[in-house]
Amino acid sequence: MISSMSGATAIKRSGRVLGALLLNVNEYRVTLKNNSGDEDDWQTKLKACHQRCADRTLRVLEKNGSIFIKLGQHLSSMNYLLPLEWTRTFIPLQDRCPVSSYQAIEQMFIEDTGQPIASHFDNFSRDPIGAASLAQVHLANMKDTGAKVAVKVQHPALKEWVPLDLALTRFTFATLRYFFPEYDLEWLSDEMESSLPQELDFALEGKNALETKRHFDTIKGSPLVVPGVHWGLKRILVMDYIAGHRTDDLAYLDSHNIDRDEVSAALARIFNEMIFGDTSLHCDPHGGNLSIGYNDLRRPHNFDIILYDHGLYRDIPTKTKRDYAKLWLAVIDADEQGMRKYARDVAGISEEQFPLFASAITGRDYRAVATSVVSTRSEEEKEVISGAMGEGMLQQLVQLLGQVPRIILLILKTNDLTRNLDESLQTRAGPVRNFLILARYCSRTVFQEQLESVRSKGSVLWPQNMLRLFAAWVSYVRVEAKLSLYEWYVFIRRIARLSPLASI
């Protein structure tokens, strides 16, 4: 039974959402109707409308907290979909998260374990060292071993408010679809309802972390570190404490002689391995879930990349991996016919939708995709893409992303992470090296498919099969050789302190 206090809080939470929703809907309807014909004037008014509505929405997300912070963080990373005014306004939510009281955490421990915190840990920090939208982390020492651990605890209030907040989120996107059917974002609320139960199960998160750790421990030279798991329950997870700095903390990297180009390349390898390798994809890859630490014992590099928050993983079907690999090989080779074919295979993209989809997966103007996607994005190109959002691209993109498989959207999110991290690291190599690393994974994936195809047709000693095998091997070796030569070239340019390459 809901108490009168809880009932009043529920009314306030609902009122904030509904009030902001109605004001935003009305403001957009008025702005969209009052197009005087002066394109520059209308664009100025539209951008101002975006900003006012984003500011209003931000205040509601901050006041309500709970999963609304999570939603805002997700929206802040969707620069391939939302206007710049929205994504920039929501960026502070990455660091502005609720904190649950020590008393509330103590009560949750008693409810979930039958014992107070002191029965499990010594030196449990009363204040968290970090807080996120769904949980916060405290430092402690294990009672039995004295090991220093990070104790991740779910915000106790989520248990009460998640059902209401999901309903409000669903209602918000349904209302937006009713008034603006061309901007159907209901798939966002569908994705939240699908993923949130997994993210709120910390026992599942512990299992995911262990599986990821096991996989990357088998990859020689990989700098990825996943904190070890001691034990986990649905709302409590105990892991090794491993500290680090933000991956874009350039002062820290430079002061420890950590090569930015190698950090960028390592991140590209890690997430391409998750997409194309025999493991699952980490589906919440934002900067707050990654850190970097100096490690002078590691070879060939002198750093560790620590990956946190393993609540949400997805398995990518083998066929999707292979079609996606072929799509990217076509993109890198500027093979437009191949791009169109595999865009249709991997996401059901029509001929008319293709230019928009190509821009969405690469974060580039279509003209760059059709010529050389491995060139550096200029400020002019970024402005062109941003401006296009106000000229009709947004409507088409919303409709497009509403129809593609959800797993493709998660892969897009991962692509955005590696692309944005590379730009924030201000690497000497520019984007070229990461595209070649991507090409290496794509080529390997296609080569494995071709091997399977040859074996399914009989003995590899048959002349026809030997020719197929040789052709596949030549294609694979060509990419491997190109990447190896380029890595040596980058090394020489770095030693000579030359500027980054714009393209290849």
CA dist 437 → 210, 249, 270, 273, 374 (Å): 26, 23, 10, 10, 12
- Count CB neighbours of 347 within 10 A: 25
Tokens of 450: 């071709």
Report whether 250 contacts 428 (CB < 8 A). no
CA–CA separation, 41 and 315 (whole Å): 47
Q: Is the CA virtual torsion 89, 92, 94, 98 positive or negative?
A: negative
Q: What is the dihedral of CA 201, 91, 72, 313, to 10 degrees?
A: -30
CA pair distance 139, 123, nearest whole angstrom: 8
Q: Please compute Rg for the chain using Cα positions.
A: 24
CA 431 to CA 443: how far, in whole Å?
A: 18
Cα of 98 vs its chain's centroid, Å: 22
The single residue listed with the structure tokens 């030196």 is: 123
The DSSP bridge partners found for residue 148 are 141
Strands (DSSP E) along 144-212, which ranges?
148-154
Furthest-apart CA pair in the chain: how many Å? 81
Handedness of CA 205, 208, 214, 218 (dihedral sign): negative
Quote the CA–CA distance of 99 and 136 in Å, as a whole number. Answer: 7
The answer to whether the beta carbons of residues 258 and 434 sit under 8 Å apart is: no
Q: C-alpha angle 197/199/200, rounded to 5°?
A: 65
DSSP state of 399: H
284 is catalytic: yes
| 248, 284, 323, 422: the active-site residue | 284
Which residue carries 């603006």 as its tokens? 180
Give the integer Cα–Cα distance in Å for 457 and 448: 15
Q: What distance in Å separates the CA atoms of residue 350 and residue 69, rounded to the nearest whole number?
A: 35
Rounded Cα distance, 26 and 3, in Å: 34
Residue 5: which residues within 8 A CB-CB, separation 6 or more?
none
Q: Extract the tokens encoding 173.
A: 């996107």
Burial (Cβ within 10 Å: 0-12, 13-18, ≥19) of residue 161: buried
Helices assigned H by DSSP within 277-392 = 318-332, 336-347, 354-362, 366-369, 379-388
Asked whether the beta carbons of 221 and 251 are under 8 A apart, the reply is: no
Q: Any idea which residues carry the catalytic annotation?
A: 284
